[in-house]
């Protein structure tokens, strides 16, 4: 029996065929979208069929439907809007050219600002795998993303060399991000070119750290300068160190009862460096016996100097949680983006818009999964991202507060 006031839809699409606008509007509220658009100076002066607010949601919608054409993504999005308004509003399908022009007018800045305003840690104190000694486990890592092979992208982003002077098939953007180990939620990111180093992109992320966190990093991140800057954020650090030639050499200070030891790190490459104060760290050395003839040996540096706060075994186990950010990247690159390995945008600013749209989309899904886990008492890592992504693509919004034009 239909509800009073219900208008029968003229579309033959099923409820499961339309995008869940509710997922987007719940995490990225329309008022906030309008606010970041205004702050970026992208507010429309005159009425357009594709206003900035619609294009902000479209940028995230492209991440949900990376295999679809512009027209397909728009159709999915606006069918959701029509259903949410009980089919009292309809939207004329624009051309691919019109959508492209609207994306250019919006630019990347509002989408990046939207992510920055909303993305935040979401794990609860009881979240399994998310905490150690009262500290939130946070991992940092980087990934490269293939972008469309256009002259503009090639010049701006650059591409990797392969062998004998040859270059990779596509230009690449580089992304460095912070993610919660307990929820896989990426809550801060720095997007740059392939020519920029991970260390360079990392520095802008340090402001997102605080004293409630334990930052985990692999051996590619350590430098004396970056360690000092990260420690100044107030967060504790747990970083793997290199052990090959040229690796930092800790000077033994004191053995600790759990098998770890205190040490000082001192730069020695110049007289000025030798005059700087040494860095006091705790060192944890261990080997994982996985049956191989030459198993991996690990050396960790940490700022948690008291073994009573966190023992060596606990810290070694916590370092294993660094893998969770790799899982988050796989969710974004393999499952959310799908088998299409190259971003579609042919200009640098639209590439950045597309990447920030992917980050917004991933955070929206992961934050809702964390909320669901908290309400049901489940471990967020036991919930399937692939299933949540499928449901997001297939479900429909039950809220009608999204309008393509300002109220």
**How does DSSP assign 253-277, residue by residue?**
EEE-TTS-EEEEE---SSHHHHHSP
Whole-structure pTM value: 0.87
Provide CB contacts within 8 A for 69, sequence distance 6+: 96
Task: Provide the CA 83 distance to its chain's centre, in angstroms.
Answer: 30
Per-residue pLDDT of the chain (407 residues; tens, 9 = 90+): 344 443 444 444 332 233 345 678 888 988 999 999 999 999 876 667 788 888 999 999 899 888 888 888 887 776 655 544 444 445 567 888 999 999 999 999 999 999 999 999 999 888 888 999 999 999 999 999 999 999 999 999 999 987 667 888 899 999 999 999 999 999 999 999 999 999 999 999 999 999 999 999 999 999 999 999 999 999 999 999 998 887 888 999 999 999 999 999 988 666 676 678 899 999 999 998 877 878 889 999 999 999 999 999 999 999 999 999 999 999 999 988 876 679 999 999 999 999 999 999 999 999 988 888 887 777 888 888 888 888 777 653 333 344 444 43
* CA–CA distance, 186 with 180 (Å, rounded to integer): 7
DSSP 335: I
Tokens of 103: 């994306």
Residue 352: enclosing H or E segment and its boundaries? Answer: helix 348-376
* CB-based contact 363:186 (threshold 8 Å): yes
Residue-level pLDDT at 181: 96
* CA–CA distance, 160 with 139 (Å, rounded to integer): 25
**191 has which bridge partners?**
175
């Amino acid at each position: 029996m239909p509800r009073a006031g219900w208008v029968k839809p003229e579309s033959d699409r099923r409820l499961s065929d339309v995008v869940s606008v509710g997922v987007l509007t719940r995490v990225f509220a329309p008022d906030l979208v309008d606010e970041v658009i205004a702050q970026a100076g992208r507010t429309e002066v005159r009425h357009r069929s594709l206003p900035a607010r619609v294009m902000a949601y479209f940028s995230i919608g492209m991440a949900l439907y990376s295999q679809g054409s512009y027209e397909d993504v728009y159709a999915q999005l606006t069918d959701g809007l029509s259903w949410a308004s009980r089919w009292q509003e309809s939207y004329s399908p624009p051309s691919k050219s019109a959508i492209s022009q609207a994306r250019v007018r919006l630019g990347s800045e509002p989408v990046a600002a939207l992510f920055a305003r909303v993305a935040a840690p979401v794990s609860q104190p009881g979240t399994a795998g998310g905490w150690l000694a009262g500290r939130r486990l946070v991992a940092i890592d980087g990934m490269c993303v293939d972008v469309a092979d256009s002259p503009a992208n090639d010049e701006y982003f650059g591409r990797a060399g392969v062998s004998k002077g040859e270059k990779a098939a596509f230009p690449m953007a580089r992304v460095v991000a912070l993610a919660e180990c307990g929820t896989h939620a990426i809550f801060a990111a720095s997007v740059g070119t392939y020519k920029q180093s991970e260390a360079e992109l990392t520095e802008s992320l340090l402001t997102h750290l605080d004293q409630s966190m334990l930052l985990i990093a692999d051996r590619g991140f350590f430098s004396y300068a970056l360690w000092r800057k990260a420690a100044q954020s107030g967060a504790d650090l747990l970083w793997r160190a290199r052990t090959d030639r040229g690796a930092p050499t800790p000077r033994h200070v004191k053995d600790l009862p759990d098998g770890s030891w205190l040490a000082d790190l001192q730069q020695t490459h110049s007289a000025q460096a030798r005059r700087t104060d040494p860095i006091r760290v705790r060192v944890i050395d261990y080997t994982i016996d996985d049956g191989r003839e030459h198993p991996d040996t690990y050396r960790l540096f940490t700022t948690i100097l008291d073994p009573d706060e966190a023992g060596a075994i606990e810290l070694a186990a916590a370092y294993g949680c660094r893998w969770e950010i790799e899982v988050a990247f796989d969710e974004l690159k393999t499952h959310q983006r799908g088998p299409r390995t190259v971003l579609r945008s042919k200009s640098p600013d639209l590439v950045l818009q597309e990447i920030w749209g992917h980050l917004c989309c991933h955070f929206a899904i992961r934050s809702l999964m964390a909320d669901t886990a908290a309400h049901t008492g489940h471990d967020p890592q036991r919930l399937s991202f692939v299933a949540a992504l499928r449901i997001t693509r297939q479900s429909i919004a039950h809220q009608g507060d999204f309008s393509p034009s300002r109220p």
